[in-house]
Chain A
Amino acid sequence: MTTASAPPPSSCLKFLGSSRAEPSTGPAGHNKGRASIELVWSWLDEVPDPEIPVISVVDLGIVREVAWHGEDLQIAITPTYSGCPATSVISMDIETALRARGIDRVRVSQQLSPAWTTDWLSDKGRARLEEYGIAPPTAAGQPERCPLCQSANVERISQFGSTPCKAQWRCRDCLEPFDYFKCI
């Protein structure tokens, strides 16, 4: 791998705008007129996470690299948790989304290092998680407030939850249980 890794997704559009290829709109056959890297990132930002569809795979911070290698579009993704079954679905969803945009030659590879961290969640992603009812991760290792009633009076039910990336918490005021996106 000779190309640089992607910066965090919140800033990727600024960094990765490339002028070396003209944008492509609509199906373009055999990758004629390569889409700009910037445009590809914006397409990827429309691919939802299969488990938490309110955030995109870009929001999640798992897309680490987008680069053209000749006629091949190379996408590097990193798994959230080693055994997360969503990882293979995500690879497939990315390929499908790019094919729909006319890019036939897509190579999705897995990159392990640097290991994924919730620090890579975008600000947009964090806000959407909370609107959806999932408390976003915090450095303190626990939710700041209940995503339903905003009370800070919360307690942990379990360190684990319905998917590998979540833990179960409960609000002591509105009494509702809620998911917390684990901080790792």
Chain B
Amino acid sequence: MAIAGVDAWVLRMGDNALVLGQRLSEWCGHGPALEEDIALANTALDLIGQSQMWLGLAGEIEGKGRSADDLAFLRDVWDFRNVLLVEQPNGDFGQTMMRQFLFDAWHVEMLGALTGSTRPQIAEIAEKSRKEAAYHLDRSQAMVIGLGDGTDESRTRMQAALDLLWPYVGEFCTPDALDHDMAEAGIAPDLDTLRPAYLTRLSDVLAEATLTRPESDFSHKGGKTGARHSEHLGHMLSQMQWLQRAYPGATW
């Protein structure tokens, strides 16, 4: 069954994992403690592994012979389809953990729903990734609670991180035409059905962390459509893709 846009939609899953994985790996060697450094690198590794599976599938469905590596290293900003949240800079450790929690909580809901996809390959990747995502969420959630309900300093920083990142949460839950097509074909869930569980978890965890959820529902968008990425993505890609840009086609 040929449904247009499946590759484009799978690209969103792959790019979310790739861009966040790259962001987290920027922490390697800079974590506040050895254990945290290792945890961030391990989380990054899981995400990059997941991205390889998603991008490999996107290339296969597209049918133009592009591999996961081709998609990761040979596209520029406007061709990326990740949500804006994951490309935001790391900031301090608290900001990184807040970004991680906001992503993980959504990721677990999305992957859980995708295990029921009508596309067996999508369901299989989701089944594999979901366990890893649940493990990530355990940690990022505990960290947000620990730092939020921590010292005055850590609480202030976590509230600032939440205020900064909150306007990026809406993009996860706001379906566009492609999301609607995928939901109709049973390939991906209707985003409206994910929203209640996602927002309930956010509310519960933020309450336990003694943090105040911002009132505004204003939401940045344009990442998953590729229409309006933030300036940060280009800087990140210039590092991530440096080798292929300097030595096109290099392999080892």
Q: Please give the residue numbers on chain A whose beta carbons come within 8 Å of chain B beta carbons, in ascending order.
A: 79, 81-85, 112-117, 157-162, 164, 168, 182, 184
User: Given known contacts A81-B49, A112-B53, is B39 in contact with A159 (CB within 8 Å)?
Assistant: yes
A-B contact pairs, 27 of them (CB 8 A): A79-B49, A82-B46, A82-B53, A82-B129, A83-B21, A83-B46, A83-B47, A83-B48, A83-B52, A84-B49, A85-B45, A112-B128, A113-B128, A115-B130, A158-B39, A159-B139, A160-B35, A160-B38, A160-B39, A160-B42, A161-B42, A164-B42, A164-B45, A182-B135, A184-B131, A184-B132, A184-B135
CA A9 – CA B123 in complex, angstroms? 25
CA A158 – CA B42 in complex, angstroms? 12
Q: In the complex, what residues of A have CB within 8 A of residue B45's CB?
A: 81, 83-85, 164
Nearest chain B residue, comparing its CB with the CB of A159: B139
CA A182 – CA B130 in complex, angstroms? 15
Besides A82-B52, A160-B43, 7 new A-B residue pairs in contact (Cβ under 8 A), listed by A number:
A81-B49, A82-B129, A83-B46, A83-B52, A112-B128, A158-B39, A184-B135
Is the Cβ of A164 less than 8 Å from the Cβ of B131? no
Q: In the complex, what residues of B have CB within 8 A of residue A114's CB?
A: 127
Least distance between A14 CB and chain B CB atoms (Å): 27
Least distance between A116 CB and chain B CB atoms (Å): 8
Least distance between A109 CB and chain B CB atoms (Å): 13
User: Given known contacts A113-B123, A113-B128, A182-B135, is B39 in contact with A81 (CB within 8 Å)?
Assistant: no
Q: In the complex, what residues of A have CB within 8 A of residue B123's CB?
A: 113
Q: Top 7 closest A-B pairs, CB basis?
A: A83-B49, A82-B49, A158-B35, A83-B45, A160-B39, A113-B124, A112-B124
Centre residue among B21, B120, B127, B128 by max chain A CB count within 10 A:
B128
B199 within 8 A of A: no
- Tally of B interface residues using CB under 8 Å: 28
Least distance between B118 CB and chain A CB atoms (Å): 15
Contact of A164 among B35, B46, B124 (CB under 8 A): B46
B28 within 8 A of A: no
CA A116 – CA B50 in complex, angstroms? 14
CA A101 – CA B73 in complex, angstroms? 39
Is the Cβ of A115 less than 8 Å from the Cβ of B38? no
Q: In the complex, what residues of B have CB within 8 A of residue A113's CB?
A: 120, 123-124, 127-128
Contact of A82 among B36, B39, B120, B128 (CB under 8 A): B128
Q: In the complex, what residues of A have CB within 8 A of residue B50's CB?
A: 82-83
Is the Cβ of B49 less than 8 Å from the Cβ of A115? no
CA A157 – CA B37 in complex, angstroms? 13
Q: In the complex, what residues of B have CB within 8 A of residue A161's CB?
A: 38, 42
Least distance between B123 CB and chain A CB atoms (Å): 7
CA A136 – CA B107 in complex, angstroms? 28
CA A36 – CA B79 in complex, angstroms? 50
Q: In the complex, what residues of B have CB within 8 A of residue A164's CB?
A: 42, 45-46
Q: In the complex, what residues of A have CB within 8 A of residue B47's CB?
A: 83
CA A116 – CA B4 in complex, angstroms? 32
Nearest chain B residue, comparing its CB with the CB of A84: B49
Is the Cβ of B127 less than 8 Å from the Cβ of A115? yes
B138 within 8 A of A: yes
Is the Cβ of A159 less than 8 Å from the Cβ of B138? yes
CA A1 – CA B204 in complex, angstroms? 44
B194 within 8 A of A: no
Least distance between A131 CB and chain B CB atoms (Å): 25
CA A159 – CA B135 in complex, angstroms? 9
Least distance between B139 CB and chain A CB atoms (Å): 5
Least distance between B146 CB and chain A CB atoms (Å): 13
Q: In the complex, what residues of A have CB within 8 A of residue B127's CB?
A: 112-115
CA A54 – CA B71 in complex, angstroms? 38
Least distance between B189 CB and chain A CB atoms (Å): 19
CA A13 – CA B134 in complex, angstroms? 33
Least distance between B104 CB and chain A CB atoms (Å): 13
CA A115 – CA B125 in complex, angstroms? 9
Nearest chain B residue, comparing its CB with the CB of A113: B124
